[in-house]
Amino acid sequence: MRSGKTLPLEVQAFRLSHDVTVVALPGEVFVDLGIAIKADSPFQTTLVIELTNDAPGYIPTRKAFAEESCETVNSRVKTCGGEMMVQAAVRLSRALAAESVENR
């Protein structure tokens, strides 16, 4: 389907207001990953949207890979790929929050 050994995935975040941000993730993201993003987000409200910009299939958690759940068989990301997306989303959200404070 795609050439090469790696599949770059884009994680996006944008601020709607001082209290609300939106995080956009590719693929069908496991709910625990979305919950982790919301838990670490500096915003009062964080909306997590999946299946944006690309559809690489399931994005399981590291735990799901360890349990060998059926979704991991069809996943096109490496074992820690979902957690890497969480880290990127939180980093972007924190940068937006810092920018929001600077612009007040």
Question: Per residue, what are the HEC states of 74-91?
Answer: CCCCCCCHHHHHHHHHHH
Mean pLDDT in residue range 93-98: 95
pLDDT of residue 23: 98
Location of structure tokens 């939180």: 90
Looking up tokens 């625990």 gives: 32
Mean per-residue pLDDT over the chain, rounded: 89
Q: What is the pLDDT of residues 29-39, one digit of tens each?
A: 999 999 999 99
| pLDDT average, residue stretch 46-53 | 95
Rg (CA), the chain: 14
**Both ends of the chain: CA-CA distance in Å?**
46
| pLDDT surpasses 70 at 89 | yes
* Mean pLDDT value of segment 40-65: 93
